[in-house]
A and B are shown apart, each in its own frame.
Chain A
Amino acid sequence: MNYRMIKYILGWILVFEAFFLIIPGITAVVYGEKALVSILITIAVCLVTGGLLIIKKPSNTELYSREGFVIVSLSWIVLSLFGALPFTLSGVIPRYIDALFETVSGFTTTGASILPEVESLPKSLIMWRSFTHWVGGMGVLVFLMAFLPLSGGQNIHIMKAESPGPSVSKLVPRVRTTALILYSIYFVLTFLQFLFLLFGGMPVFDSINTALATAGTGGFGIKNDSLGSYSPYLQNVTTVFMLLFSINFTSYYLIITKKIKEAFNREVRTFLIIVAASIGIITFNVHDMFGTVGEALRHVSFSVASIISTTGFSTADFDLWPELSRTILVLLMFIGACAGSTGGGIKVSRIIILFKSLSKELQMMIHPKQIKKITMDSKTVEHETVRAVNSFIVCYILIFVLSVMAISVDNHDLITNFTAVAAAINNIGPGLAMVGPTQNFAFFSPISKTVLIFDMLAGRLELFPMLLLLNRATWKK
Chain B
Amino acid sequence: MNIIVVGCGKVGQTLAVQLNNDGNNITVIDLNADKVSEVTDRHDIMGVVGNGATHTVQQEAGIKNADLLIAVTSSDELNLLCCLIAKMAGNCQTIARVRSPQYSSEAQFLKDELGLAMIINPEYASAAEIARILRFPSAIKIDTFAKGQVELLKFRLPEDSPIVGMAVKDIMMKLKCDVLICTIERDGEAYIAKGDSVFRERDIISLVASPKKANDFFNKIKYKTRSVRDVMIVGGGEITHYLADILLKSDIAVKVIEKDKEKCEEMCVSLPDVTVIHGDAVDQGVLMEEGLDKAGAFVALTNLDEENILLSLFAKNKNKGKLIAKINRIEFDDVVSQLDLDTVIYPRHLTSESIVRYVRAMKNTIGSNVETLYIVIKDKVEASEFIVRENCAITGVPLGELKFKDNVLVAAILRDRKVIIPHGGDIIRPGDAVVIVSEIMALHDITDVLR
Contacts and interface: CB of A to CB of B under 8 A. Distances in A.
A332 to B, nearest CB: 32
Contact of A153 (B33, B43, B62): B43
A438 interface: no
B163 to A, nearest CB: 36
Interface residues of B, number: 14
A153 B46 contact: no
Interface string A165-186: 0000110111111000000000
Given A153-B20, A382-B33, A173 B42 contact: no
B41 A174 contact: no
Nearest to A65: B41
A153 B25 contact: no
Interface stretch (A45-53, A154-162, A201-209, A277-285): A154-162
Nearest to A382: B33
Given A172-B46, A173-B46, A156 B41 contact: yes
Interface in B6-50: 20, 25-27, 33, 40-46
B44 A174 contact: yes
B9 to A, nearest CB: 19
A65 B38 CA distance: 12
A154 B44 CA distance: 7
A152 interface: yes
A374 to B, nearest CB: 14
B2 interface: yes
B40 A156 contact: yes
B20 A170 contact: no
A172 B25 contact: yes
A174 B45 CA distance: 6
Nearest to B33: A382
A173 B45 contact: yes
A174 B40 CA distance: 10
Nearest to A63: B42
Contacts of B2: 173
A174 B3 CA distance: 12
B44 A156 contact: yes
Nearest to B43: A153
Contact of B41 (A157, A173, A382): A157
A400 to B, nearest CB: 31
Interface in A126-178: 152-157, 169-170, 172-177
Contacts of B46: 169-170, 172-173
A173 B26 CA distance: 6
Contacts of B27: 173
Interface centre among B20, B27, B44 (most CB of A within 10 A): B44
Contacts of A155: 44
A152 B41 contact: no
Contact of B42 (A153, A172, A174, A176): A153
B33 A175 contact: no
Contacts of A152: 43-44
Contacts of B43: 152-154
B62 A172 contact: yes
A387 to B, nearest CB: 14
A177 B2 CA distance: 13
A175 B25 CA distance: 10
A169 B27 CA distance: 12
B440 to A, nearest CB: 16
Nearest to A177: B25
Nearest to A175: B44
A174 B27 CA distance: 9
Nearest to B41: A156
A173 B44 contact: yes
Interface in A347-363: none
A174 B33 contact: no
Interface of A: 65, 152-157, 169-170, 172-177, 382
25 contacts: A65-B41, A152-B44, A153-B40, A153-B43, A153-B44, A153-B45, A154-B41, A154-B42, A155-B44, A156-B41, A157-B41, A169-B46, A170-B46, A172-B25, A172-B46, A173-B2, A173-B26, A173-B27, A173-B45, A173-B46, A174-B25, A174-B44, A175-B44, A176-B44, A177-B25
Interface of B: 2, 20, 25-27, 33, 40-46, 62
Please name the 3 residue pairs, one residue from A and one from B, whose CB atoms are nearest each other, closest first.
Answer: A153-B44, A153-B43, A173-B25
Given A153-B42, A153-B43, A156-B44, 14 more contacts: A152-B43, A152-B44, A153-B40, A153-B44, A153-B45, A156-B40, A172-B62, A173-B26, A173-B44, A173-B46, A174-B25, A176-B44, A177-B25, A382-B33
